[in-house]
Amino acid sequence: MRSRLRAAVAVAVALVFAAPALAMPVEKVTSPGGITAWLVRDTSVPVISVSFSFAAGAVMDPEGKEGRAVMVASTMDEGAGDLDSQGFQGKLEDISASLRFSAGRERFTGALRTLSARRDEAFGLLRLALTAPRFDEEPVGRIRAQIVSGLQRKAHDPDHIAGRAFVAAAFPDHPYGRPSDGTVESLARIAPDDLRDFVKKYLARDVLHIGVVGDITGDELAKRLDRVFGALPGKAEPFIVPEISPRGAGERIVIERNIPQSVVMFGQKGLRRDDPDWYAAYVMNRILGGGGFSSRLTEEVREKRGLAYSVYSYLNPYEHSALIMGGTATQNARVAESLRIIRAEWRRMAEEGVTGEELAQTKTYINGSFPLRLDSSSRIASMLTTIQVEELGIDYIERRPALIDKVTAADVRRVAQRLLRDSELLVVVVGKPEGLATGQ
């Protein structure tokens, strides 16, 4: 059994993934009014998924009104046109469609999913929500209370506390350091007119990208694009986010909480999505801590020593900054030991890079697993939107394997040396870690 299995594995690794990631071609659809969307037509299930993304988000929250973008996203489907909140939600339920908006730091996104038989009504509701949202007092007050309730709960969640403290230390006096969900005080200051102001200024066609998957033709989609998105303003108001290099290098912040397990978050300056070394860093991170059981951090912290259930690292690019981050959670007595091991792995990667075997295996994983993500129409639609946002090109899905394959061990080592400095990590610990205190 042993030799037979080993042989099979060796052969498998040598194989190249020949099958295309996506069975169907990506089509660029342009409406008569000039709105474009990328479409993957798939008639195997009578469903249509639409994904869209505006370059807008919590960074545009006015000082003192933090949480505005999140409130817009949570109230845009709470009444539009002639329909009040219950009327709008009732129509969506009548046709079994779902419509969601979501606000991140720098993107305002939405997703519509409908049975293709009900697409006329579903696209109509999307148009109403985008172009005639009501922001009535009742739903605005109700949603505000829900966000406040969530904030009060999260105020005691060690993961949330660590995350907040980390970005506040890394991005002081910058929109990235402010809470996207706002605070109890800032939410109280946000009025319906503030929400209307956000929509009017920032949800415009020139900052919009759209991905569609499912049972609809390109011709039909072209006409519907103008109906749904045509009434949006043509141009968004300019908004400038200052560039910022993450601060707090080498600092350790300990926030005492009476819990049996400390939550640890760490990070430092990373690299942006459009950096020439992005793919090298992507491969490097997978080997360092982004690859679950195949990563060094999991091997050293979890598998060998049983210190944690979860330990990981990830690239966290912003549009005007970048981080490489990581986290773990371990009993209070073993936080210091865990951090020592994590720092040692950070250093080892910077000093030694990766082996040829690690590199080859990781590339096979990255290229082989990519198509696994494309397993539902909504996930494919969202991927189509992201590829447009990142300006990766309509042939990106076909080109991506070559971009990964091109990465050499020297590339990985260069980018590791550039990014990973274990003594400069900003570390946040929430819990009662033994023998650790705030300091350098």
- Residue 60 has a CB neighbour count (10 Å cut-off) of 24
Tokens in use for 433?
A: 């870690």
* Span near other proteins by CB under 8 A; candidates 19-27, 31-39, 56-64, 387-395: 19-27
Q: Give the x/- contact pattern for other proteins in 126-165, rule: CB under 8 A.
A: ------------x--xx--xx-xx-xxxxxxxxx------
- C-alpha 383/C-alpha 397 separation (Å) is 10
25 binds other proteins (CB under 8 A): no
257 binds other proteins (CB under 8 A): yes
Q: Is 224 exposed, middle or buried (0-12, 13-18, 19+ CB in 10 A)?
A: buried
Residues 6+ apart with CB under 8 A from 63: none
* Span near other proteins by CB under 8 A; candidates 37-45, 60-68, 126-134, 271-279: 37-45
The interface with other proteins within residues 70-109 (CB under 8 A) comprises 85-86, 89-90, 93-94, 96
Do the Cβ atoms of 333 and 274 come closer than 8 Å? no
* Span near other proteins by CB under 8 A; candidates 274-282, 345-353, 358-366, 413-421: 358-366
Q: Cα-flanking dihedrals φ and ψ of residue 233, to 5°?
A: -60, 150
- C-alpha 232/C-alpha 34 separation (Å) is 13
308 binds other proteins (CB under 8 A): yes
Of 110, 211, 267, 327, the one binding other proteins (CB under 8 A) is 327
245 binds other proteins (CB under 8 A): no
Q: Give the x/- contact pattern for other proteins in 47-76, rule: CB under 8 A.
A: x-x---------------------------
Q: Scan for tokens 């403290």, then name that residue.
A: 165
Of 30, 44, 245, 408, the one binding other proteins (CB under 8 A) is 44
Of 299, 337, 390, 405, the one binding other proteins (CB under 8 A) is 299
Q: Which is nearer to other proteins, 240 or 293 (CB)?
A: 293
Of 321, 330, 382, 385, the one binding other proteins (CB under 8 A) is 330
Closest C-alpha among 349, 284, 342, 282 to residue 308: 342
Per this entry, what is the length of the chain? 440
Could you say which DSSP state residue 126 is in?
H
* Span near other proteins by CB under 8 A; candidates 174-182, 323-331, 385-393, 420-428: 323-331
* Span near other proteins by CB under 8 A; candidates 38-46, 99-107, 223-231, 275-283: 38-46
Round to the nearest angstrom and report the end-to-end CA distance of the chain: 53
Do the Cβ atoms of 413 and 238 come closer than 8 Å? no
